[in-house]
Copies of this chain bind each other. A is one copy, B any other.
Amino acid sequence: MAVSDDHKLQEAIDTLRDSGVRITPQRHAVLEYLLNSMIHPTADDIYKALEGKFPNMSVATVYNNLRVLRQIGLVRELTYGDSSSRFDYKSSEHYHIICEECGKIVDFHYPTLDEVESLAEQVTGFDVSHHRMEIYGKCDECQQVETQKH
C-alpha cells in the first residue's frame, strides 16, 4: 500500500473514532478494501473479497458497516436500476461515467456544479445538501468490440 493511501486510511479511522464508532477488524477491513478499490464494489464484492480473511463474517456485517461509513460521510452509495448498489470511498469530489455495455465505472473529474445547486434553491425553495450526476455511454473497449463484429 502506498504511503498516501496509508495516511488516508489513518485519517478515516480517526474520523470513525471521533464519531464514537468502534474500530472492529471487520469494519477496518471493509474501509481498507474500499480505499484501495478502484472498482466501486457492491456489498457482495466486498463480502467475497474479505471472506478469506474473515470466514465467519456475515453479509449483514458488510451492509451494517457500509451504512455506518455512509452516515459518517466517508462513503458514497451509488444506485442503479437493475442490480445492487455500489460503494465509493469519498476521497475527492468527482463524477462517474458508466459503460452501459459492460458496467465499468470510470471517475470523471469536473468542477462541482455549484451553480445548478444554487439556482435550484432559488427556484424550488429547497435547502439543497448535494447532488449526483452520472454520465452514461459506451466505453472504448466496448466500442471496439462493436466495430470488430461488423
- A: residues with CB less than 8 A from B are 77, 79-81, 85, 95, 97, 99-100, 106, 108-110, 113, 116-117, 119-121, 123-140, 143
The answer to whether A85 touches B77 (Cβ under 8 A) is no
A65 to B130, CA, bound (A): 33
Give the residues in chain B near A126, CB-CB below 8 Å: 97, 99, 106, 135, 137-140
> In this complex, what residue of B is CB-closest to A111?
B116
The answer to whether B128 touches A135 (Cβ under 8 A) is yes
The answer to whether A133 touches B136 (Cβ under 8 A) is no
**Copies in the assembly, this chain:** 2
The answer to whether A119 touches B130 (Cβ under 8 A) is no
Known: A97-B120, A99-B126, A128-B135. 15 other contacts (CB 8 A): A77-B81, A97-B126, A97-B128, A100-B129, A106-B126, A108-B123, A109-B123, A110-B119, A113-B133, A120-B135, A130-B137, A131-B133, A131-B136, A132-B134, A132-B136
The answer to whether A80 touches B81 (Cβ under 8 A) is no
User: Can you list the 4 inter-chain pairs with the closest CB atoms, starting with the nearest?
Assistant: A128-B137, A126-B137, A133-B133, A125-B140
A138/B134 contact (C-beta < 8 A), A81-B79, A85-B81, A108-B120 known: no
A129 to B125, CA, bound (A): 31
Give the residues in chain B near A81, CB-CB below 8 Å: 77, 79, 85
The answer to whether A136 touches B128 (Cβ under 8 A) is yes
Give the residues in chain B near A113, CB-CB below 8 Å: 113, 133
